[in-house]
Amino acid sequence: MIDFTGPVAVLSDVHGNLEALDAVLTDIRNTGVLDIVNLGDCVGYGPNPCECIDLLQASCRINLRGNHDYATLYRSDNFNPAAQAAILFVRQQLQPADNADAARRRWLFLQQLLPMYENADFEFMHGSPRRPITEYILPSDPLCDPFKIDDIFAAMGHRYAFVGHTHYAGVIEEHQESFVRPDELQGKYRLTEKRAIINVGSVGQPRDSDRRAAYVVIHRHQVEWRRVPYKVADTVAKIEAQNLLDDQLARRLLVGQ
Ligand SMILES: [Fe+2]
């Protein structure tokens, strides 16, 4: 069980980006965090799935399943061509090559990822409380699809839900028709009696026009979004060197899209 009386980090959507994950784990070590929860999508898109799996397995108390983790194990035919090719790349990397034990451990890690985790006032999942692995809660939903948001809050068993999946950091409060970005809150969201869905953003492929890696730290009464610069050029060069990884996956890292 995680003790939420001390600071706990929540990260998501690493997507095989080792440079971003390394930078975030270094930042976490400097913040006095006791435990880390990973909301999934360890792999897909990025050039270092094996190394990221190893680091996440060693560093995180809880590892949850994302849709790319699922697709690696089972099927990716609902993905776009670049994402499908990236899943093929992940499967190739995860093949037992010179180290069959490490390969077996990594496949087992993906198989044993949990769909969600709940503790005290919190629940954690990749997508949404209604469909933990696959459903997107979009920044436009509170305004454009409020009934969807109402249904998702109805499916929420706790006061606060932490999600990733869209790669957009922000918060939606119950009965509010807005998605509030961290920069509108000076990077901090105060935990009150209001129910809320908090998106932690993405470590390895941010899409909110800020290319720095994103994650959150849960403190006793507030959530703090943190942004961490990393060596994007190194990740870009690695993606461009792999035939199965579309160059667009490299370009988007440079602009945080
Ligand atoms: Fe993702």
**3 lies in a domain?**
no
Q: What are the beta bridge partners of residue 63?
A: 38
Which of the two residues, 94 and 5, has the higher pLDDT score? 94
In the predicted model, is pLDDT for residue 88 greater than 80? yes
Q: Is residue 170 part of a domain?
A: yes
| Domain assignment of residue 249, yes or no | yes
Q: What does the pLDDT read at residue 3?
A: 84
| pLDDT digits 0-9 by tens, 215-237 | 999 998 999 999 999 999 999 99
How many angstroms separate the alpha carbon of residue 115 from the centre of ligand 1? Answer: 14
Look at the pTM and tell me if it is higher than 0.75.
yes
Residue 1 lies in a domain: no
Residue 97 pLDDT greater than 80, yes or no: no
Q: Which domain holds residue 242?
A: 8-255
Report the separation in Å between the CA atom of 145 and the middle of ligand 1, taken as the mean of its atom positions: 22
Which residues have CB atoms below 5 A from the ion given as ligand 1? 13, 41
Task: Give Cα 122 to chain centroid, integer Å.
Answer: 16
Question: Is there a contact between 235 and 250 (Cβ–Cβ < 8 Å)?
Answer: yes
Per-residue confidence (pLDDT) for residue 1, from 0 to 100 = 82
CATH number at residue 151: 3.60.21.10
Is residue 71 one of the residues assigned to a domain? yes
Mean pLDDT confidence for 10-23:
98
**Does some domain include residue 159?**
yes
**How many A from CA of 20 to the centre of ligand 1?**
14
Distance 206 CA to ligand 1 centre (A): 9
How far, in Å, is the centroid of ligand 1 from the Cα of 137? 12
Distance in Å, CA 204 to ligand 1 centroid: 9
Q: What digits encode the pLDDT tens for the residues 17-68? A: 999 999 999 999 998 898 999 999 999 999 999 999 999 999 999 999 999 9
Q: Tally the domains of the chain.
A: 1
